[in-house]
């Protein structure tokens, strides 16, 4: 029996199955490509070939697309990324005090005090330092992204790169190439610049204490890890499933939820082959005039979200299933 976690982000959609011992037994990484519904269905097509609906005791969602994912799959919980990442981190290391999380389009810092989130921050509009920015630079330099960090470790010196803005950083890298600096020095300079930007903006005013966990896809970049360690003056740690921690946290939260209720809302894997679309309308019930999103499966409404008062999102449109005794 397993618990499903789904993390729907702007760049990737991650699906994870954990068992009762919080051991990861399945993980799937898919590109969202601007279509979270399709990404979820693709993930479910993979899972339905390996598991039965009855194998899933609970399902949870997180990420920027957590509400649409929750409506589609019948989630037992839908929590923000801060809560999901903190939950997963504490499960794997109860001594963690700081979480650095850098994903495809956003960066976060989470401060924990006695196992409770006491402070956090996220990037706002600039994607400098995120996975998508590093992907672009690796492609421009014709270097596989998997080897990007290794190049930084080869450098004997670091070139000063302007890292506060993605556009300026790229322009500065091109300028340094024209001055004759080699790729390793430029990439190391970029890693140093992005870490400076993170610490001076996202982590501004935050006291970063060890033990620090580095999570998100960018944690695979060895150059970024070393740059953080040089800047902070102590070792940072990367969990085994660093790029799936949001989905793992969602699964753990769902596990806790169903153990309290005794039933699950999970709708099953058959939705992988259904026709699912979303439509929006303006609610005229009050002055807020919320733009409510409704989800339809084969022309039947299966859920609503994005209203403030719960008038629509609290509608029960499909029955829950009792867990086996």
Q: Output 212 or 323, whichever has higher pLDDT.
A: 212
Predicted confidence at residue 197, as pLDDT, reads 86
Kindly report the average pLDDT of the chain as a whole number.
90
Predicted confidence at residue 137, as pLDDT, reads 83
Predicted confidence at residue 17, as pLDDT, reads 98
pLDDT higher than threshold 70 for residue 182: yes
Q: Give percent of the chain above pLDDT 90.
A: 60
pTM of the model: 0.89
Strands 56-62 vs 77-78: parallel, antiparallel or unpaired: parallel
pLDDT higher than threshold 90 for residue 51: yes
Angle between helix 166-178 and 183-197 (nearest 10): 160
Burial class (CB in 10 A: 0-12, 13-18, 19+), 299: exposed
Residue 276 has a CB neighbour count (10 Å cut-off) of 18
Strands 212-215 vs 24-31: parallel, antiparallel or unpaired: unpaired
Token pair, residue 59, equals: 């399902």
* Angle of CA points 125, 9, 270, to nearest 5°: 155
Across 66-75, 98-107, 202-211, least confident range:
98-107
* 3-class secondary structure, 283: coil
pLDDT-derived band at 323, boundaries 50, 70, 90: low
pLDDT digits (tens, 9 = 90+) for 111-125: 999 999 999 998 866
Across 10-14, 165-169, 191-195, 273-277, least confident range:
165-169
* Angle of CA points 214, 98, 209, to nearest 5°: 115
Query: How far, in Å, CA of 276 to CA of 108, rounded?
Result: 32
Which domains, and CATH codes, for the chain? Answer: 2-83+246-274+310-322 (3.30.420.40), 94-238 (3.30.420.40)
Residue 278 has a CB neighbour count (10 Å cut-off) of 15
Across 18-22, 168-172, 256-260, 320-324, least confident range:
320-324
Q: Output 128 or 215, whichever has higher pLDDT.
A: 215
């Amino acid at each position: 029996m397993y618990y499903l976690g789904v993390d729907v982000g702007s760049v990737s959609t991650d699906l994870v199955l954990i068992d009762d011992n919080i051991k990861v037994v399945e993980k799937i990484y898919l590109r969202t490509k601007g279509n979270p519904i399709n990404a979820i269905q693709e993930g479910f097509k993979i899972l339905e070939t390996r598991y039965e609906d009855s194998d899933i005791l609970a399902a949870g969602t997180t990420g920027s697309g957590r509400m649409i994912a929750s409506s589609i799959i019948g989630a037992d919980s839908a929590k923000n990324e801060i809560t999901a990442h903190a939950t997963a981190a504490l499960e794997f290391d109860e001594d963690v005090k700081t979480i650095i999380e850098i994903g495809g389009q956003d960066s976060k810092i989470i401060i924990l005090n006695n196992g409770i989130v006491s402070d956090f921050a996220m990037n706002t509009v600039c994607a400098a330092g995120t996975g998508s920015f590093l992907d672009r630079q690796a492609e421009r330099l014709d270097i596989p992204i998997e080897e990007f960090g290794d190049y930084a470790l080869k450098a004997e010196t670091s070139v000063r790169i302007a890292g506060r803005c993605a556009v300026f950083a790229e322009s500065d890298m091109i300028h340094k190439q024209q001055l004759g600096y080699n790729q390793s020095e430029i990439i190391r300079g970029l890693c140093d610049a992005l870490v400076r930007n993170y610490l001076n903006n996202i982590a501004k005013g935050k006291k970063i204490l060890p033990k620090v966990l580095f999570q998100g896809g960018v944690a695979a970049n060895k150059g970024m890890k070393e740059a953080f360690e040089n800047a902070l003056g102590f070792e940072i740690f990367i969990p085994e499933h660093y790029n799936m921690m949001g989905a793992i946290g969602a699964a753990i939260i769902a596990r806790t939820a169903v153990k309290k209720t005794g039933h699950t809302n999970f709708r099953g894997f058959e939705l992988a082959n259904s026709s699912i679309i979303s439509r929006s309308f303006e609610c005229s019930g009050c002055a807020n005039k919320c733009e409510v999103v409704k989800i339809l499966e084969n022309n039947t409404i299966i859920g609503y979200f994005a209203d403030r008062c719960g008038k629509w999102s609290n509608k029960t449109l499909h029955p829950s299933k009792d867990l086996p005794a």
